[in-house]
Amino acid sequence: MRISGSSGQEPSLAAQEEELRATSTGEVVKVVKDRGSGLRENRPGLNRVLAMVSDGSVGVARVTHEDRLARFGVGWLKRLFAVYGVTLEVLHPKKSGGRDELLEDFVSLATTFAGRLYGMRSAESRKRLPAESGQCNGVRDAA
């Protein structure tokens, strides 16, 4: 389960868990909750899921929607899971088909790159802020 923000979205997280538990036919081994953008590839919850897949402690991973696992690259994750004998179950799969699927892929790509660009710009701003506020004691980068 994943929510994008750190606060205010707990009801969504609870609703995802409730739906996943209500539709489960097997034993629930572990519930993994993640808070953060689905664009981030290095999320603690995703890392825990990948560790459980690779160590063989799960046979099925379940999500309500693919984008709860990741915004982009879910096909690669499915293949990786399959290598370890793990099935990914999506309660509400996307409807595949022609133009709509192509448009969704395009939007996912644009969102991914926009998020990374925004993150790069934010990092640059954080670096500039101390220098502009005089907190760096006049020390400047050699670049």
Q: Contact at 8 Å (CB) between 5 and 81?
A: no
Last residue of a domain, one of 90, 107, 124: 90
Same domain for 57 and 77? yes
Same domain, 19 and 47: yes
CA distances from 93 to 41, 65, 88, 127 (A): 21, 6, 11, 42
Please report which confidence band the pLDDT of residue 38 belongs to, taking 50, 70 and 90 as the band edges: confident
Kindly state the percentage of the chain with pLDDT values over 70: 82
Question: What is residue 136's predicted lDDT score, i.e. its pLDDT?
Answer: 57
Q: Examine the domain organization and report whether 21 and 77 are in the same domain.
A: yes
Answer yes or no: is pLDDT of 129 > 80: no
Question: Above 80 in pLDDT, residue 78?
Answer: yes
Q: What is the CATH number of the domain that holds 34?
A: 3.40.50.1390
- 17 and 49 belong to one structural domain: yes
Report pLDDT for 97: 66
Number of domains composing the chain: 2
Q: Is residue 142, in this structure, part of any structural domain at all?
A: no
Instruction: Give residue-wise pLDDT tens across range 86-127.
Output: 999 999 998 766 787 778 778 877 877 787 777 766 767 667
Residues 62 and 20 in one domain: yes
Confirm whether 143 is domain-assigned: no
Q: Which long-range contacts (CB under 8 A, 24 or more apart) does 49-57 make?
A: 50/80, 53/80, 53/81, 53/84, 53/86, 54/84, 56/84, 56/85, 57/29, 57/30
| pLDDT for the residue 94 | 80
Q: Does position 47 have pLDDT exceeding 60, yes or no?
A: yes
Same domain for 126 and 85: no
For the chain, helix, strand, coil in percent to 5 are 50, 10, 40
State which residues form the domain around 122.
95-137
Query: CB-based burial of residue 133 (10 Å sphere; 0-12 exposed, 13-18 middle, 19+ buried)?
Result: exposed
